[in-house]
Amino acid sequence: MVRDPFAADDAPDLQDVLDALDDQECRRIIEELDEPMTASEISEASDIPLSTTYRKLDLLTEASLLTEGVEIRPDGQHASTYEVAFEEVILGLSEDRETEVQIARRARTADERLENLWSEVRKET
């Protein structure tokens, strides 16, 4: 299931981000993602078993560090694709001296915004 692309605009949970970044396999996945890839492609490129790759992709998307899209295939067997959704992660202290996290994201292109909108329309139909 493709995650809501608009939900990534909310501040992620601090512990989710820390857990994902503390995980060596998650970091390896981030390092391999220089373009959108399917889970199978990520598994092969990072040398991580496919079942583990799916768990790590869930962890990374929950932390808002990856975005999930859809690769439309002519045979109708569409596949989820994943790409890095941040330029930097910033940890800081709030005015109340509580730890907070901010994720700096690159601006989305018009094509990416249209793709996100189309994904939302497909979910509704």
Tell me: pLDDT of 124 over 80: no
Q: Give yes or no for a contact between 5 and 116, defined as CB atoms under 8 angstroms apart.
A: yes
Please write the tens of the pLDDT for every residue from 56-66: 999 999 999 99
Tell me: pLDDT of 25 over 70: yes
Mean pLDDT computed over 7-32: 88
pTM value is 0.74
To the nearest whole number, what is the mean pLDDT of the chain?
86
Angle subtended at Cα 114 by Cα 113 and Cα 120, rounded to the nearest 5 degrees: 95
